[in-house]
Amino acid sequence: MEHTIQLHDKKFKIMIPAEEIDRAVSAVAERVREDYKEIDTPVFLGVLNGSFMFMSDLIKKLDFNCELSFVKLSSYTGDHTTGEVKTLIGLNNNLKDRHVIIVEDIVDTGESMEHMIDLLKAYEPASIRMCTLFFKPAAYRKTMPVDYCAMEIGNEFIVGYGLDYNQLGRNFKDIYVVTEE
């Protein structure tokens, strides 16, 4: 495990080792399993690119029949939110009357999540909940509940396990935090 990494102009240091991520993913998967094991074939909708690793590990811990799909909603260009969100692409499942669980890498201000939920409502699903790997409660500006959250963090900028800084850092299995220098 590398203790510091350089991505573009910034240095990052290790913050959450892979083993700890795995424990948090197991705990959130258990909550999802309890709530959905009796539900008829829920649909997990991963938001690309950031959620691919979380989705992969989460879904392996679930033992009931479910569907999985990935959608894209890109709004982020640097290490702060642009406030500008694009449309939903890649959705080809019929979501009418289905139970949908959105799978996100991180909920920061909640803008992307809110936009995603608004777009999904048009498909008339039976329910929509969100499951995020990380949640930044101090940055959150919305009122809708974050139904499932594996880990809460402060306002620091993190990378690894799917999360990026200008497209770099997604491949690392541990979570790294930006350093001040």
Q: How far is the CB of 165 from Mg ion (least distance, A)?
A: 12
Biggest CA pair distance of the chain? 51
Q: Which stretch binds ligand IMP (CB under 6 A): 1-9, 31-39, 54-62, 103-111?
A: 103-111
Q: Bin 91: left if φ > 0, else alpha if -120 < ψ < 50, else beta.
A: beta
- Is there a catalytic annotation at residue 108? yes
Tell me which DSSP letter residue 140 carries.
-
Cβ 102 to ligand IMP shortest distance, Å:
11
Draw the binding track, 75-94, toward Mg ion (x: CB under 5 A; -: no contact). --------------------
Taking CB within 5 to 8 Å according to partner kind, which of ligand IMP, Mg ion, none is near residue 57?
none
Please, which residues bridge with residue 159 across strands? 176
| The pairing of beta strand 99-107 with beta strand 127-135 | parallel
Q: Indicate whether 7 belongs to the interface with ligand IMP (CB under 6 A).
A: no
The type of residue at 8 is H
Q: Known catalytic residues?
A: 108
